[in-house]
Amino acid sequence: MEYRHSAQQIKKKILAKLEHNFGVGLENATNDQLYKSVALLAREMMEQGRSEFMAEAEKKQAKQVYYLCMEFLLGRSLKNTLFNLGIEEAFREALQQMDVKLETLYDCEPDAGLGNGGLGRLAACFMDALATGQYPSTGYSLCYEYGIFRQKLVDGWQTELPDFWLPGGRIWLHEIPEKAVEVHFRGHVEEHWDSSYHETIHKDYTTILAIPCDLFIAGMGGKGISRLRLWKSKGQAFDMGLFNSGNYMRAMEENAMAETITKVLYPDDNHSEGKSLRLTQQYFLVSASIQDIIRTHLFQYSTLDNLPEKVAIHMNDTHPVLAIPELMRIMLDECGYDWDRAWDLTTRTLAYTNHTVMKEALECWDQDLFRMQLPRIYQIVEEINRRFCQQMHDLGVDGYKVGRMAPLNDGYVKMANLAVVGSHCVNGVSTLHSEILKETVFHDFYTEMPDKFTNVTNGIAHRRWLNQSNPELAALLTEKIGKEYIYDASQLKKLEAYKEDKTVLQELAKIKRRNKERLAAYIARENHLTLDPNSIFDVQVKRMHEYKRQHLNALNILATYLWLKSHPNADFTPHTYIFGAKAAPGYYFAKQMIRFIYELGEVINHDPAVSSRMKVVYVEDYRVTLAELMIPAADISEQISLAGTEASGTSNMKFMINGAVTLGTLDGANVEIHDSVGDDNMLLFGMTTPEVEALRAAGYHPDQIYYNNPAVHGAIDFLRGGINGVDFSDIANSLTGNDPYMVLADFESYQRAQAKAMQLYANPETWQRMCLCNIANAGRFAADRAIREYAERIWHCAPLTEKTEN
């Protein structure tokens, strides 16, 4: 596919789109109509490219990768598409001829409301890397009408509003009603036996249609194009008989309930209805996707006997793990395979990535709810469980151990156990995380089937997070080390040759300064707060959660504020603390953490005694587009989770490649960042994972730290007294009570790291050298590398063609 056109050709095509699709000429066109016309052109180019790419894949009978995930946090598509196809400048020139700025059209696009945090952003980065690596691939998720939610802070309290992203985002979606599939819920199962024949019939079930909406993601250079297939739920045809009999509400209700499935990502599950809806969403995703995969495969090969050789299905976290019994259902009920053959094909086709070491995040479904919603799937899970337990007993495995490993036990369907039992490979997402999985979460499995476990450290789409988000830095890199790093991020290592070059270090400082000014202008506009770009921009952006310990950061800010009030003439490097995060709607404590930070900011920012030296900003409605603004402006990257709790993290990688210095614990991928940059280019603090476990085993008493550390004592007492009239005794009591994530245990070490950061920042040359070393060593954290490792170690597939650099 040839994507390059002259500016004049592009202009002509844009004008044609305006007239054909919107019935307007240039003189009457709105920016929104221009944006949609450009997006349509880009989409059509990708559709054509995808068609040609997949025709070649089919001709070569290449192995297909199918990536199942409940969320894909894409952000905006237009800039990424034009950049990766190599046509951004041609479009910019064409629009300039029409007196339109391309950047204005970028701002017309909403962030796609299809994801929430690191899991979804990782999936989006992987789709980019799969396309760039030229692996024939399809991602599967749901077409959420309202996405996660739009965050609004009302007096510091998070309020969730609908995220109306589809009016501007639908232009990227190609809906294909003729490829809809049926998904069945509830009903009952009948079994018929005779001496030679067994038949299972699922009867009186509720049928919901899954309609595919395709969104395309271009790889760098445009040779490979990934497809993200999003399923939209719809009820069966409107029941006129029901309506005419007077059951008006029921006739309407059935369609409304069906469409609820794809209304909102992650509905609050603090009640039974929410749990039922989440289970329904998960099965809807996997049933539609597995049916689609099987249909595509049979169309080409007419048999499933070669499925593991031609198809790799990857389950990203536990949400899509029902793919295991669903694939078994299709093979048993619709394709006539016996159990052993179906199980062999299923397990050799499916693989699983675990993203958490916390047991409360490993999904378990109540057995009765599961049986009621998915009766046939429950039957299959029962049989998987029976056979697995029998196999373990036959091998002489201890009964208690078998019980811990069982997919069905204690009245629950345990999704992580089912994932390990039904996959040929299980991977963690950082070296430390993978070791913790083997030593704790899946230790029983690891001792019985060690060959099933591996590690693939996460990676980011470095072209988006560097070239597109930080174009001035990318231009400097291209000038100094060439453009090969765009295709091969390991080439960033060449930048280390300039770590003693004062001119390069000064240029890095100037670029960072302009990025900080850009962010400061946004905050002045949105938060009505003036920031000092000379101050340290200390940034923590990620999901709001206790284990990520935003309250450790906030407690230090409070202690620092109280210290400055007592020492007004002390030497102190001006500091701007910037936060961005959403809390799950039902997570009260996380919402209190947000309010704590917000109210703390209100006090500090309006206190003339300190406001020229420190400020606190909570950026509302954190999302990909804001991350692209905030991350290039950061001096310090806060990665402060308790050691042993963060699986990997990917914001740490995004900050690193943009020249921020990591202030963090040896947790997740921070361990590998430390391996890459060393002690001199990172601000380490806190306990290691073994030290955390040792303290926990010995008995942790945070109240002793409270009484013995004056800074902690003063900050918590201030917190207990309330801030701006808001009571935060629940946070104070948690910290001095059981302190589950050991905030107080790491507090003193964290303060020392902050003091060291201010000392280093005071020497611009030293600081910029640290920044340069971080950029130069960020290449190992590219998604391209991660995808190559998945392809080689887990999926056993090869790129369609060898890449050529242009």
Known catalytic residues?
355, 542-543, 548, 650, 654
**CA nearest to 461, candidates 5, 99, 796, 80:** 80
Residue 157, phi-psi category: left (phi > 0), alpha (psi -120 to 50), beta (remainder): beta
Contact indicator for 141, 69 with CB cutoff of 8 Å: yes
**Tokens at residue 30, please?**
């709105």
For 698, half-sphere exposure in the C-beta direction (CA atoms, 13 angstrom radius) is 9
Q: How far is CA 588 from CA 578, 594, 599, in A?
A: 22, 10, 16
CA distance 283 to 184: 9
435 Cβ neighbours under 8 A, 6+ residues apart: 428
Six-digit token string for 660: 């921020």
Reduce the secondary structure of 753-788 to three states and give it as a string: HHHHHHHHHCCHHHHHHHHHHHHHCCHHHEHHHHHH
| Residue 102 in tokens | 């391309």
Collapse the DSSP code of 641 into the 3-class scheme (helix H, G, I; strand E, B; otherwise coil) and give the result. coil
Q: Which residue has the tokens 């969320």?
A: 71
Distance of CA 599 to the CA centre of its chain: 29
One-letter amino acid for residue 25 of the chain: G
Residues 5, 24 contacting (CB under 8 angstroms): no
Collapsed DSSP state (helix, strand, coil) of residue 222: coil
Query: What is the C-alpha separation between 228 and 245, in angstroms, rounded?
Result: 42
Q: Give alpha helix (H) positions in 395-501.
A: 399-405, 415-422, 431-436, 443-448, 462, 471-481, 484-487
Please return the burial class of 523, using the count of CB atoms within 10 Å of its CB with bins 0-12, 13-18 and 19+: buried
Strands 150-154, 157-161: pairing is: antiparallel
Please answer whether residues 91 and 38 qualify as being in contact, where contact means their C-beta atoms are separated by less than 8 angstroms.
yes
Query: CB-based contacts of 370: which residues, under 8 Å, 6+ apart?
Result: 279, 377, 378, 381, 413
The answer to whether residues 293 and 285 touch, using CB atoms and an 8 Å cutoff, is no
